[in-house]
A and B are shown apart, each in its own frame.
Chain A
Amino acid sequence: MTAYPLKRLVIAFATLVLASMVVFAVLEILPGDPARLMLGMNASADQVELLRTQMGLNAPLVLRYLHWAGGLLSLDFGRSYTYSVPVIDLVRERLAVSLPLALIALALSTIIAIPVGLYSASRRGRAGDTVAMGAAQLGVAVPNFWFALMLIYVFAVWLRLVPAGGFPGWGAGAWPALKSLLLPAVALALPQAAILARVTRSALIEVLNEDYIRTARAKGLPYRAVLWRHALRNAMIPVLTILGLQFAFLLAGTIIIENVFYLPGLGRLVFQAITQRDLIVVESVVMLLVAAVIAVNLLVDLSYAVVDPRLRTRS
């Protein structure tokens, strides 16, 4: 019983270490000297050299990696070259927007997708299924920024229910902050929900052909009860896999939506840091995202075992 989670945990940690090496190495090979960038084109070679030593850029590669990785463990990401503040402060500020946004979008996508998938699977091939899956097809095909613009037009410009963009900060109260995250969350959730609904439907249809569904029907359970009690849980594994991937995407892949709504999120931070060669910020955020993705995957792996008892005893 304990072997499975332990094994997953070890694998997750090993992945994290490996990823940190790759991130460090990639940024190491990239052209562009951060010291030169900070001092500007007019600085003398001596000045640049001095700053390089101060920043520890002249130390051997392995030492620098260990120093950096050690810092990560104690949440010390170093200082941003361009903002001259600790990276952790920058990240914390941005996470306060990106994390709630991702969570709301994920919740919305799940709430929409699972019932639609259930509905479609139980009416396979009939009109309701065709309409729902047509809508899902549209949801997958249409880019989310277009959804975003339409939402802004209807709810912000026309109905004036929510602001069209910007983020007041959590200091301004929970409701105004949530209100400004609502439209971006919906815009993010719709395409994700469309994908998830299709996955849910196809997983359910496969499960509904299983022999044990017939056994459950022969017990006298009505179709609807069979769907909820027997089919849904068995169809959960592919759905959980997709959910895990979606969360990772929602946390970092939202840069376009952040730009449309003018939100100070993580995606925009990375984008700016890349254009300004603020490598330490890039490194830190990438590592943070890697850690988040690995953590979510670990959670997904562990939840497989909750859903499917066969995984608990298999080593």
Chain B
Amino acid sequence: MSLLEIDNLSLTIGDTQILKSIELSVAPGEVMGLVGESGSGKSMTALTVMRLLPHAARATGRVTFDGIDILTATEDQMCALRGDDIGMVFQEPMTALNPVKTIGEQVAEGIRWHTKATRAEAEDRARKMLDRVGLPEAKFPLSRYPHELSGGQRQRVVIAIACALKPKLLIADEPTTALDVVLQAQILDLLRDLVAESRMGLLLISHDLAVVTEMADRITILRHGEVMEAGDTARTLSGQLHPYTRQLAQASMHVPARARPHLVGTDQPLLQVEGITRDYRGRRTSLFRRAPDIRAVDDVSLSIAPGESVALVGRSGCGKSTLARMILALDRPSSGAIRFRGEAITGKSEAELKPARRDMQVVFQDPYGSFDPRQKVEKLVAEPLHVLEKKPTRAERREMVAHALHEVGLGQRDMDKYPHEFSGGQRQRLSIARAIITRPKLVVADEPVSALDVSIRAQILDLFAGLNQKLGIAYLFITHDLTVARAITAEVLVMHDGKIVERGKTNEVLDRPQSEAAQALVAAAPDLHRAIARRMQEQG
């Protein structure tokens, strides 16, 4: 018998239909993968099971958990279920914990609430649970606060909270999306072990087909609030009978067609970084003492030729973004030199940097956060124009914005819209338009597609590749996603603890990594082909 049975579930918020006749079930000890792009209703399905929906939401149909009708249960019954029989893990570990309470308090709280255990008993159980998720007391005492932990460690605390009372069902909503691939692999291992240990059912929600394929026994694919296809993972994905399933699978393995742009006068490298180091001052431990300096970037050298695409890969916190900031002259290296088109940019004043800024632009990860919501697209995209020598007239400016928008596949009419009128993918197109409007020679892209759905990601990768060909723009792609690195770059640099530990042709490095750091990245990266092959063996 199923542990969780969702039958003909529909959900509306106000007048908007969010879910349409969802069918889904999870058996004890089973991992059910729920896949779909953003806005497909994955999280709403999870929140319906928890009955933590927004006030205006109305659900119809039947949701049965362990014999209890969830949609008609009283709030008291639901409180008794939540955290005890059903645990939930969320996407964003950085904000999922209360910043003013210790991790011990937060893990013990649910235990005390449900079992009426004394504080000491609850803390004892919390200690054991934290130890189980890989936070042993010797290194991570209960008195730690969330801000003293990294993202991966915080996610372990959230898992400890959710699993503290050995729930029958765990709902994990994008539990690893905010983590780098190595942490992701660790957290997925932990979840797998917890499922095996106590025959817990797991509803794993993800937009990442490869992750779900590695984890799930069965899979349900959602689109626009409807189930497109459901079944055994291996059969569903190997057959790819449903067109949408095929589309998803292809998009997540998409490699844009690339041809090397022809360039004139390529004898001199576009960007040369020579032995740069960046130290941050240690935190003040008392009035007179400081912790030793932290070396974020350690003696890094690299060079990028005009029109070349280079990937900079590494785990979070390895110094990638610090390096990028120095290349963009947004931060100064402690030592070493950076030369852009043969001219040093270190130690220059803002006025002297103007020509370099014109030829060097940036695309950020978050298409939502990088625009002022109160400005129109024309103004936003035209922003870098202030570095031009001659200030363009209003008509010229509109012309240039229209041209940039056209190049990224948007229309002239989009100029008078506000950012909120665009989807995530379109917003990323806007930030690319903003980056190319000054005709730069180099674009630094910091995780430019990791916040996007797979199909949109494929389109944006195509756009990057096309602009490289058409305009001869060189790219420095900063990413922890090896699929992206493979898809779009010829050269790769692997960074670890502030140092470049390996470099070479992207395909060669990713196929036969030599350094330990690169091997760890490659081993941890989810790969759809590999995952399907493994599933096929297991499930016949």
Q: How far is the CA of A217 from the CA of B75 in the complex (A)?
A: 12
Q: How far is the CA of A211 from the CA of B50 in the complex (A)?
A: 15
A216 to B98, Cβ gap below 8 A? yes
**A93: CB under 8 A from chain B?**
no
0/1 per residue, B76-115, Cβ < 8 Å to A? 1001111110011010100111111100001001100110
A234 to B87, Cβ gap below 8 A? no
- Which residue from B98, B106, B283 sits with its C-beta under 8 Å from A313? B283
How many chain A residues touch B (Cβ–Cβ < 8 Å)? 27
A218 to B87, Cβ gap below 8 A? yes
Residues on A with C-beta less than 8 A from B101 are 230
> Given A220-B79, A220-B82, do A234 and B98 touch, yes or no (CB 8 Å)?
yes
**A221: CB under 8 A from chain B?**
yes
Q: How far is the CA of A315 from the CA of B289 in the complex (A)?
A: 12
B95 to A210, Cβ gap below 8 A? yes
**A67: CB under 8 A from chain B?**
no
B161 to A309, Cβ gap below 8 A? no
Closest to B47 in A: A214
Residues on B with C-beta less than 8 A from A89 are none
Closest to B283 in A: A315
Closest to A306 in B: B100
A192 → B minimal CB distance (Å): 26
Q: What's the dominant secondary structure at chain A's contact region?
A: helix
**B349: CB under 8 A from chain A?**
no
A215 to B100, Cβ gap below 8 A? no
B110 to A220, Cβ gap below 8 A? yes
**B162: CB under 8 A from chain A?**
yes
0/1 per residue, A299-315, Cβ < 8 Å to B? 00000000111100101
- Which residue from A7, A219, A309 sits with its C-beta under 8 Å from B110? A219
Closest to B98 in A: A212
**A62: CB under 8 A from chain B?**
no
B286 to A222, Cβ gap below 8 A? no
- Which residue from B82, B92, B97, B100 sits with its C-beta under 8 Å from A218? B82
Q: How far is the CA of A216 from the CA of B89 in the complex (A)?
A: 11
B97 to A2, Cβ gap below 8 A? no
Residues on A with C-beta less than 8 A from B52 are 214, 217-218
> Given A2-B287, A3-B284, do A218 and B99 touch, yes or no (CB 8 Å)?
no
- Which residue from B96, B100, B113 sits with its C-beta under 8 Å from A308? B100
Within 8 A of B (CB), among A202-218: 210-212, 214-218
Residues on A with C-beta less than 8 A from B83 are 218-221
Residues on A with C-beta less than 8 A from B96 are 211-212, 214-215
B162 → A minimal CB distance (Å): 7
Residues on B with C-beta less than 8 A from A315 are 283-284
A308 to B79, Cβ gap below 8 A? no
Residues on A with C-beta less than 8 A from B75 are 222
Closest to B95 in A: A211
0/1 per residue, B470-497, Cβ < 8 Å to A? 0000000000000000000000000000
Residues on A with C-beta less than 8 A from B106 are 215
**A6: CB under 8 A from chain B?**
yes
Q: How far is the CA of A211 from the CA of B173 in the complex (A)?
A: 13
B158 → A minimal CB distance (Å): 7
B125 → A minimal CB distance (Å): 14
Residues on B with C-beta less than 8 A from A212 are 95-99
Residues on A with C-beta less than 8 A from B95 are 210-212
Centre residue among B87, B100, B287 by max chain A CB count within 10 A:
B100
Residues on A with C-beta less than 8 A from B76 are 222
A181 → B minimal CB distance (Å): 36
**A233: CB under 8 A from chain B?**
yes
0/1 per residue, A270-313, Cβ < 8 Å to B? 00000000000000000000000000000000000001111001
> Given A308-B100, A309-B99, A309-B145, do A217 and B284 touch, yes or no (CB 8 Å)?
no
Residues on A with C-beta less than 8 A from B145 are 309-310
Q: How far is the CA of A6 from the CA of B284 in the complex (A)?
A: 13
Residues on B with C-beta less than 8 A from A308 are 99-100
Residues on B with C-beta less than 8 A from A230 are 98, 101
Q: How far is the CA of A3 from the CA of B158 in the complex (A)?
A: 31
A198 → B minimal CB distance (Å): 22
Centre residue among B76, B82, B148 by max chain A CB count within 10 A:
B82
**B262: CB under 8 A from chain A?**
no
B98 to A215, Cβ gap below 8 A? yes
**B147: CB under 8 A from chain A?**
yes
B100 to A220, Cβ gap below 8 A? no
B110 to A3, Cβ gap below 8 A? no
> Given A3-B287, A211-B90, A212-B99, do A220 and B113 touch, yes or no (CB 8 Å)?
yes
A220 to B99, Cβ gap below 8 A? no
> Given A3-B286, A310-B147, do A217 and B82 touch, yes or no (CB 8 Å)?
yes
Q: How far is the CA of A234 from the CA of B110 in the complex (A)?
A: 19
Extra contacts, 12 of them, besides A215-B90, A219-B161 (Cβ < 8 A), are: A2-B286, A215-B96, A215-B97, A217-B82, A219-B82, A220-B82, A220-B110, A222-B79, A229-B109, A309-B145, A313-B283, A315-B284
Question: Can you list 10 A-B pairs, Cβ within 8 angstroms, ordered by A?
Answer: A2-B287, A212-B95, A212-B98, A215-B161, A217-B82, A218-B82, A218-B88, A220-B114, A230-B98, A230-B101
Show the binding face of B for A, using Cβ within 8 Å.
Answer: 50, 52, 75-76, 79-84, 87-88, 90, 92, 95-101, 106, 109-110, 113-114, 145, 147-148, 158, 161-162, 283-287
